[in-house]
């Protein structure tokens, strides 16, 4: 397959770019932004550290008992056994031959160097009998056992988890410096789109809503633009007025029809690096960049080696094609921009209940439902497969990806079903 064919109006996508090559080209024009913010620890779950974090103090910051029992000098218990216990006197302060009551987590008194578990002690008035000798340091958590002051905890780029927040709070960190969420402008286009009560020939706008929520799920901050009609000047104005975002994403108008104006509009103010991808459903996707140079340019520097400008992801108008291409291109662009990890979705291994047909040379994404026959998961392709049938996504449990090198998958083969609803 040819890598790229620029004249789509004439070719009608007879030649398209492979998915991996298209993503590589997109990567070349997406820069990681450098905006940061200091936020309270309680709000930092899932955020990306922009600076390394070292521990400002020891944890624990005192010698603490690891068990309920009595703090002792280890040497005072040497020789203790079940038949011949050592007898120590109960005391409030540590001294030779003394035992001080402690609880798990409490401070071990000065002069004590071990703790005898309560299960190994009998209490008789002002005395205790110790039935098991302990070694120096036994059942005692020393200063800095968990974390030492100055210890490197996390590097910049680490995605914070709930357990990380607990660790940071324990060492006295109350705020962290994180990267801002990548800002994405979502621009639905099409003169036929309305928000409610469609007349014949009109269509309810759903792509913008769907893409906006996907952006939020993927860790970005979305701005939903009013629907823009199929007019070159208005489309150009809509894109140029949103170049302060990290990414501009449009829905509709990306193919080769008379009203598919977006690739030409982007070409007039920037560069289209991909138009048409060997992907089904949804090959009429376009990827581009609009360079900065006006009052609308972003207030952020780009990563070294990346093109200075705002990436533009032009998604197809059919709902299923829009979602598939958002997963394949918008999601990676958002992750790269926000310094977020790009992870593969979780999958379920399942037996294919009905064969899948696919076009060789094209990467296909087939919607499936998941059921069980006994203990075995079974994936069945949905009957509705058109790129405009939104219910085929909403009612599916996942999708099966058929690589370019295969011409379908036979019934009974084990396939990996990717989870639609995965939000990372």
Handedness of CA 417, 418, 421, 424 (dihedral sign): positive
- For the segment 131-136, the average pLDDT, to the nearest whole number, is 94
Asked if pLDDT for residue 404 goes beyond 80, the answer is yes
What is the percent of the chain with per-residue pLDDT over 90, rounded to a whole number? 76
Average model confidence (pLDDT) across the chain: 89
Asked if pLDDT for residue 96 goes beyond 90, the answer is yes
Chain centroid to CA 180: how far? 14
- For the segment 225-249, the average pLDDT, to the nearest whole number, is 95
Residue 244: predicted pLDDT: 94
Residue 424: predicted pLDDT: 67
| pLDDT band at residue 299 under the 50/70/90 scheme | very low
Segment among 84-88, 220-224, 236-240, 395-399 with least mean pLDDT: 395-399
Residue 294: predicted pLDDT: 43
Residue 12: predicted pLDDT: 59
How far apart are alpha carbons 43 and 162 in whole angstroms? 10
Residue 188: predicted pLDDT: 95
Q: C-alpha angle 345/349/354, rounded to 5°?
A: 110
Asked if pLDDT for residue 307 goes beyond 80, the answer is no
Radius of gyration of the chain (CA): 31
In three-state secondary structure terms, 234 is helix
Handedness of CA 231, 237, 242, 244 (dihedral sign): positive
Cα-based distances in Å from 163 to 24, 133, 144, 388, 395: 34, 36, 18, 42, 35
How far apart are alpha carbons 113 and 54 in whole angstroms? 29
Q: Any idea which residue has 């690589």 for tokens?
A: 403
> Cβ-count burial of 51 within 10 angstroms (0-12 exposed, 13-18 middle, 19+ buried)?
middle
3-state secondary structure 176-228: EEEECCCEEEEEEECCCEECCCCCCCCEECCHHHHHHHHHHHCCCEEEECCCE
Residue 254: predicted pLDDT: 85
3-state secondary structure 290-343: EECCCCCCCCCCCCCCCCCEEEEEEECCCHHHHHHHHHHHHHHHHHHHCCCCCC
- For the segment 243-250, the average pLDDT, to the nearest whole number, is 97
- H-state helical runs in 218-259: 232-240
Asked if pLDDT for residue 2 goes beyond 60, the answer is no
Asked if pLDDT for residue 305 goes beyond 50, the answer is no
DSSP annotation string for 86-118: EEEEE-SS--TTEEEEE-TTSBPPTT--EEEEG
| pLDDT band at residue 257 under the 50/70/90 scheme | confident
Query: Using an 8 Å Cβ cutoff, are 306 and 31 in contact?
Result: yes
Residue 298: predicted pLDDT: 41
HSE, side-chain direction, 13 A CA sphere, residue 236 = 10
Using alpha carbons, select from 360, 355, 352 the residue that is nearest to residue 407: 360
Asked if pLDDT for residue 150 goes beyond 90, the answer is yes
- For the segment 376-395, the average pLDDT, to the nearest whole number, is 74
Residue 396: predicted pLDDT: 85
- What are the φ/ψ torsions at residue 102 (nearest 5 degrees)? -135, 160
How far apart are alpha carbons 307 and 28 in whole angstroms? 7
- For the segment 150-167, the average pLDDT, to the nearest whole number, is 96
In three-state secondary structure terms, 416 is strand
Residue 391: predicted pLDDT: 64
Residue 3 is classified by DSSP as S
Structure tokens of 11?
A: 């070719």
Other beta carbons within 10 angstroms of residue 176's beta carbon come to 23
Residue 1: predicted pLDDT: 37
- For the segment 262-278, the average pLDDT, to the nearest whole number, is 94
| pLDDT band at residue 256 under the 50/70/90 scheme | confident
- For the segment 225-247, the average pLDDT, to the nearest whole number, is 95
Residue 386: predicted pLDDT: 56
Asked if pLDDT for residue 152 goes beyond 90, the answer is yes
- For the segment 204-226, the average pLDDT, to the nearest whole number, is 95
- For the segment 88-104, the average pLDDT, to the nearest whole number, is 96
């Amino acid at each position: 397959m040819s890598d790229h064919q620029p004249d789509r109006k004439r070719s009608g996508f007879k030649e398209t770019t492979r998915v991996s090559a298209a993503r590589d080209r997109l990567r070349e024009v997406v820069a990681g932004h450098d905006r940061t913010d200091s936020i309270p620890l309680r709000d930092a779950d899932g955020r990306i550290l922009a600076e390394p974090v070292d521990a400002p103090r020891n944890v624990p910051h005192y010698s603490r008992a690891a068990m309920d029992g009595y703090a002792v000098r280890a040497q005072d218990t040497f020789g203790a056994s079940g038949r011949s216990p050592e007898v120590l006197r109960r005391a409030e302060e540590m001294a030779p031959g003394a035992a001080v009551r402690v609880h798990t987590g409490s401070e071990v008194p000065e002069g004590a160097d071990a703790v005898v578990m309560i299960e190994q002690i009998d209490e008789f008035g002002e005395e205790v009998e110790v039935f098991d000798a302990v070694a120096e340091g036994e059942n005692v958590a020393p200063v800095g056992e968990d974390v030492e002051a100055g210890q490197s905890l996390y590097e910049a780029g680490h995605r914070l988890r709930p357990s990380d927040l607990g660790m940071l709070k324990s060492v006295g960190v109350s705020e962290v410096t994180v990267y801002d969420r990548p800002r994405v402008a979502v621009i639905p286009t099409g003169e036929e789109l309305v928000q409610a009560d469609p007349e014949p020939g009109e269509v309810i706008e759903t792509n913008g809503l769907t893409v906006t929520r996907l952006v939020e799920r993927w860790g970005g901050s979305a701005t939903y633009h009013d629907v823009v009609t199929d007019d070159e000047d208005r489309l150009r104005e809509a894109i140029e007025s949103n170049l302060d975002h990290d990414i501009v994403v449009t829905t509709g108008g990306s193919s080769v029809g008379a009203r598919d104006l977006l690739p030409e509009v982007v070409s007039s103010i920037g560069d289209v690096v991909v138009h048409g991808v060997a992907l089904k459903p949804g090959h009429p996707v376009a990827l581009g960049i609009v360079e900065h140079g006006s009052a609308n340019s972003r207030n952020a520097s780009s990563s070294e080696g990346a093109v200075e400008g705002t990436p533009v992801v032009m998604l197809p108008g059919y709902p299923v094609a829009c979602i598939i291409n958002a997963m394949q291109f918008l999601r990676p662009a958002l992750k790269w921009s926000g310094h977020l990890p790009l992870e593969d979705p979780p999958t379920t291994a399942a037996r294919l209940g009905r064969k899948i047909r696919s076009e060789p040379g094209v990467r296909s994404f087939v919607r499936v439902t998941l059921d069980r026959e006994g203990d075995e998961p079974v994936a069945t392709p949905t009957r509705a497969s058109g790129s405009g049938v939104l219910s085929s996504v909403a009612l599916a449990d996942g999708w099966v990806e058929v690589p370019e090198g295969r011409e379908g998958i036979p019934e009974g083969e084990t396939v990996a079903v990717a989870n639609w609803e995965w939000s990372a």
